[in-house]
Amino acid sequence: MIRIGNASGFYGDRFAAVKEMLTGGRLDVLTGDYLAELTMLILGRDRLKAPDRGYARTFLSQLEEGLGLAVDNGVKIVTNAGGLNPAGLAQAIRELATRTGVDVKVSHVEGDDLLGHGFPGALTANAYLGCWGIVECLNAGADVVVTGRVTDASLVAGPAAAHFGWDRTDLDQLAGATVAGHVIECGTQATGGNFAFFTEVPDLTHPGFPIAEIDARGDAVVTKHPGTGGVVTVDTVKAQLLYEIGGPRYLGPDVTSRFDTITLAQRGPDRVAITGTKGEAPPETVKVCVNTLDGFRNSMTFVLCGLDIEDKAALARRQLTAAVGDEGLHWTLARTDHDDADTEEAASALLHVTIKTPDPKRAKAFSRASVELALASYPGCTLTSPPADGTPVGVYRPEYVPQQAVEQVAVLPGGERRPIAPPTVFGTGTGTGMGTGEPPPGPEYHGGPTRRVPLGTVVGARSGDKGGDANLGVWVRDPAAYPWLAHELTTDRLRELLPEVKDLDIERHPLPNLNAVNFVLHGLLGQGVAASTRFDPQAKSLGEWLRSRHADIPEVFL
């Protein structure tokens, strides 16, 4: 068994987690995931300001104390904090080790940066590498491995493959490790964070970070250090399995993992086994995260209190449009007001307006023009923020290139550059598994007496973003309720429950082994989080909105 912990789910996660994981119990490897599509944009803008930047500087600060603790406890560190400059971060770690007197071998992985390979106008263009560069570094004796844009799960699959001596043909083992990596990659989301049934978690004040104990077959147990907050249950693990996925075939550069073959089982307090995962050959192409700059944006919010809310909103809209023009303005009126309210806040609605423009001066003038209406608009006119400069807009898009077009290189502790050959055997999986049409509703279901209550009474959900698309994973905890869920939650029914998605292209993917259904909602987030003007630009609350909707639920499940 190899025991792999995680100490970061995103750039900005709990700073103390590295120390907590290194002092809380036994580990063989500590990973840290710092990259997301939005993070690559942030690092790209950093690199524009200073070419020697482009990596997650927070991680370097965490190693001020954590590096010595890792060496003292015999823990390897594997992280994608290198971002756009893994060589720069690796060198900074060596300098830190020299300054603090820590004897450590540092290695890094290159080859993901495809900025000069046919993506005109791109700020960043990074291929999602697999695990074999990490394997090569660990086999060469590295204590710390820094990568750029690898798949999040590769941070776990790499150490497991190195430990057990797997090769590219060990697809079931690689798939099992990939699934374990997917579960722990987002940190405390596997231990009760962002969990639909969070009120049942015994101690969520300071949840512990997750650990995957992986065996030679690729089976795993997800757990956490003893005495830490949060909880690890079949449902907290299942929620994370359903996060930001598509169809049953989960495509990666090294293996296609079959999420419809996963079996979950509780094996004791805070111990969940993940077994039976099957793997298939990877696809011929690898995904590339491309970010471009697309002008500037700015936002303001008008507070509308009391009577005549619609007329007040219309006046503010008319006045601001006259001042700056209507091109690029996006308006949303949130009717948060209540009739005959007993507090001023409860009597108020919010009028949100965002501008997207190629002209930074217009973006700045927009907020000043909003403030200038304070004494010249509707009665009670006020805003929630002072004027501000506009910020650059980043647009993410996925591209795909042949695996052979990516030249992955492991730079070993001694400086040797060792090329990593691409795979030579490919599968035919498309990632959607069962196609984009409406699949059969599922197992036979016989109705009975129902009661109209919120769906969240019996249904859990987890949602998130993938560029301009969103995913929405929904499950029931009682296996007997799955036939009802499969019949109830069709794409047409989802459009009724969530009117904002009624005109979108929606994929629906049943996962009966998880008592779950996953939806992919294409285009909900427009051009992605950095450009979206949606109220919830990363779709993090989409699942909770669904759970709050009322439906006729069989009384037997209540």
Question: Same domain, yes or no, for 303 and 164?
Answer: no
Query: Does any domain span residue 426?
Result: no
pLDDT band for 37, please (50, 70, 90 cuts).
Answer: confident
Dist. CA 213–CA 551, nearest whole Å: 40
**For residue range 178-208, what is the model confidence (pLDDT) as tens digits?**
999 999 999 999 999 999 999 999 899 999 9
Q: Which two tokens stand for residue 518?
A: 């996953």
Question: Same domain, yes or no, for 255 and 310?
Answer: no
pLDDT for the residue numbered 535: 85
> Taken in order 232, 238, 244, 250, is the CA torsion positive or negative?
positive
Query: Does any domain span residue 190?
Result: yes
Query: Does any domain span residue 380?
Result: yes
* Strand order through the sheet with 144-146: 263-266, 272-275, 220-224, 210-214, 2-6, 29-32, 76-79, 144-146, 106-110, 408-411, 417-420
Across 1-5, 160-164, 389-393, 543-547, least confident range = 389-393
Whose tokens are 């217009």? That residue is 362
Contact, 245 vs 161, CB < 8 A? Answer: no
Question: Same domain, yes or no, for 279 and 321?
Answer: no
Query: Does any domain span residue 315?
Result: yes
The domain of 358 spans 295-395
Average pLDDT estimate for 470-492: 96
Q: Which two tokens stand for residue 222?
A: 């997800």
Question: Same domain, yes or no, for 158 and 274?
Answer: yes
| Beta strand 469-476 pairing with 278-280 | unpaired
CB half-sphere exposure, 43, CA atoms < 13 A: 34
Quick one: 363 exposed, middle or buried, by C-beta within 10 A (0-12, 13-18, 19+)?
buried
**3-class secondary structure, 382:** strand
Question: Same domain, yes or no, for 140 and 281?
Answer: yes
Q: Which two tokens stand for residue 134?
A: 């990490």
Quick one: 414 exposed, middle or buried, by C-beta within 10 A (0-12, 13-18, 19+)?
exposed
Query: Does any domain span residue 45?
Result: yes
Question: Same domain, yes or no, for 350 and 251?
Answer: no
Q: Which two tokens stand for residue 107?
A: 């290695």
Chain centroid to CA 337: 33
Query: Does any domain span residue 134?
Result: yes
**For residue range 324-336, what is the model confidence (pLDDT) as tens digits?**
999 999 999 999 9
As a whole-number percent, the residues of the chain with pLDDT over 70 amount to 97
Question: Same domain, yes or no, for 100 and 141?
Answer: yes
Question: Same domain, yes or no, for 164 and 253?
Answer: yes
Question: Same domain, yes or no, for 156 and 266?
Answer: yes
The residue from 395, 430, 458 where one domain ends is: 395
Question: Same domain, yes or no, for 161 and 234?
Answer: yes
Query: Cα-flanking dihedrals φ and ψ of residue 487, to 5°?
Result: -80, -35
Domain count, the chain: 3
Q: What is the CATH number of the domain that holds 305?
A: 3.30.70.2750
Q: Looking at the predicted structure, is the pLDDT value of residue 528 above 90? A: no
Query: Does any domain span residue 71?
Result: yes
Question: Same domain, yes or no, for 487 and 530?
Answer: yes
Across 260-264, 432-436, 525-529, 554-558, least confident range = 432-436
pLDDT band for 512, please (50, 70, 90 cuts).
Answer: very high
pLDDT band for 447, please (50, 70, 90 cuts).
Answer: confident
Mean pLDDT of the chain: 95
Dist. CA 193–CA 240, nearest whole Å: 10
pLDDT band for 6, please (50, 70, 90 cuts).
Answer: very high
pLDDT for the residue numbered 428: 75
Residue count of the chain: 558
pLDDT for the residue numbered 138: 98
- pTM score, two decimals? 0.94
Question: Same domain, yes or no, for 142 and 266?
Answer: yes
Query: Does any domain span residue 441?
Result: no
pLDDT for the residue numbered 431: 41
